[in-house]
Amino acid sequence: MKSSIRLILLTFLALQFIGCGDRTRVRVLKLGHSLPTSHPVHKALENMALQVRQVSQGGLRIDIYPNEQLGSEREMIEQVQLGSLQIVKTSASPLEGFIPEMALFTVPYAFQDQAHLWEALDGEIGEDLLEAGTKKGLVGLCYYDAGSRSFYTKDKPITTPADLAGLKIRVQNSRTAIEMVEAMGGSPTPIAFGELYTSLEQGVVDGAENNPPSLLTSRHYELCKFYSLDEHSSVPDVVLISEEAWSRLTQTQQAVIKKAANDSAEFQRELWIKETQRALDELTAAGVEISRPDKKPFQASVTELHKSYQGTVIEELLIRVKKLRDGSPKPKRVLPSPIP
Among 29, 73, 260, 268, binds ligand GCU (CB under 6 A): 73
CB of 34 to ligand GCU, least distance (A): 4
Q: Which of the ranges 9-17, 34-42, 128-136, 159-167 carries the binding residues for ligand GCU, by CB under 6 A? A: 34-42
Question: Could you tell me which residues are beta bridge partners of residue 4?
Answer: none
Q: Do 114 and 14 form a contact (C-beta atoms < 8 A)?
A: no
CB of 272 to ligand GCU, least distance (A): 11
Task: Confirm or reject binding of residue 237 to ligand GCU (CB under 6 A).
Answer: yes
Task: Confirm or reject binding of residue 174 to ligand GCU (CB under 6 A).
Answer: no
Site for ligand GCU in 209-228 (CB under 6 A): 210, 214
91 vs 253 by CB, closer to ligand GCU: 91
Among 106, 153, 172, 199, binds ligand GCU (CB under 6 A): 172
Q: Which of the ranges 13-21, 33-41, 56-64, 226-234 carries the binding residues for ligand GCU, by CB under 6 A? A: 33-41
Could you tell me which of 87, 81, 102 has the C-alpha nearest to residue 314? 102
Task: Confirm or reject binding of residue 234 to ligand GCU (CB under 6 A).
Answer: no
The pattern of x and - marking residues 87 through 126 that bind ligand GCU according to CB under 6 A reads: ---xx-----------------------------------
Among 193, 226, 227, 272, binds ligand GCU (CB under 6 A): 193
CB of 9 to ligand GCU, least distance (A): 55
CB of 59 to ligand GCU, least distance (A): 29
64 vs 256 by CB, closer to ligand GCU: 64
CB of 173 to ligand GCU, least distance (A): 8
Give the residues lining the site for ligand GCU (CB under 6 A).
34-35, 41, 73, 90-91, 146, 172, 193, 210, 214, 237
